[in-house]
Amino acid sequence: MVGQFVAVVTLLTLWALLERFLGARSSLAFAVLGMPLLAFATLTVIVWAAWGIRWQKVVVLVLAVVVDMAFISGKSTLSRGGERLFFETRRSRLESFSRDIVSYGRIRQMSDGTRHFTELNGQLVAGSTSAAMPAAASPTRPLDEVLARHAIEVKRYEEFRDRLRELKLTQFEAEPGFVAFLYDGMLDNLEGYLVVKPGESPPAMRSTLFGATLISLEPLGDGWYRFATT
């Protein structure tokens, strides 16, 4: 019983720390399964302790409750640490990617092609799921047509798409003063990272980013920020 409790707490701790690496669905899964799993593991310890009460079992039960409280109160800290770890393990690749985006100059916005709809420079690309398209979206166009219209090389488009996927990011936007990378989000509650170009300023609060309203900018150093929208 004690071993399974320790295993569950260890699993949930790693899950909370690494959920950003596992993808946005991992956070939703944790919200649905994490606390019930911890409650079940604690309940088994309670049943074990009640079956022939001895002071050693009472001590173990008290320790289990303390661990529960520590995990619940520290979960947000674990998640924030995991978010920072996620960014830092990608910082150098993101810096290189943002320089390449600015240098190439022909792709100002694109998605990774794995979501319900695919965008390139504000144009929905054919093959998108119509039910998931944004309201008042423009009609879809074949990818080849959109690439030709903006003089984008197929190899460069595919390279940028693959780099987004490798980084576990879903979109980027290149604006005059910064380049922003979208991690994920539900509806318009988005989050991600942006780097401000030398000599420029970060976007203003309440400005529009990825079609949503910017509400948070957390400095990460060297011109990088973590952003959130609503």
Helix (H, G, I), strand (E, B) or coil at 90: coil
Q: Say how far residue 16 (Cα) sits from the centre of its chain.
A: 13
How far the first Cα of the chain sits from its last, in Å, is 43
What are the residue ranges of helices labelled H in 150-205?
154-166
Q: What percent of the chain has pLDDT over 70?
A: 93
pLDDT value at residue 188: 66
Please state whether beta strands 189-196 and 212-221 pair in parallel, antiparallel, or not at all (unpaired): unpaired
3-state SS assignment for residue 227: strand
109-111 and 171-174 beta bridge pairing: antiparallel
Q: Express each pLDDT in 7-28 by its tens digit.
A: 999 999 998 999 888 877 787 7
pLDDT tens per residue across span 71-91: 999 999 999 999 999 999 999
18 vs 22: CA distance, rounded Å: 7
pLDDT of residue 136: 43
3-state secondary structure of 221: strand
Nearest to 180 by CA among 203, 159, 199: 203
Q: Residues near 25 by Cβ (< 8 Å), separated by ≥ 6?
A: none
Q: Are residues 61 and 45 in contact, defined by beta-carbon separation less than 8 angstroms?
A: yes
Question: Tokens representing 164?
Answer: 């987004």
pTM of the model: 0.83
Burial class (CB in 10 A: 0-12, 13-18, 19+), 211: exposed
Contact status, residue 125 vs residue 140, Cβ threshold 8 Å: yes
Q: Has residue 38 got a pLDDT over 80?
A: yes
Residue with tokens 């030709």: 148
CB 171 within 8 A of CB 164: yes
Element (H, E) at 192: strand 189-196
Residue 135 three-state SS: coil
Q: For position 30, what pLDDT does the model report? A: 85
pLDDT in tens, 92-103: 999 999 999 999
Q: Which amino acid is at 186?
A: M
**Domain ranges (residues) in the chain:** 2-88, 91-229
Q: Give the residue-averaged pLDDT of 105-134.
A: 78
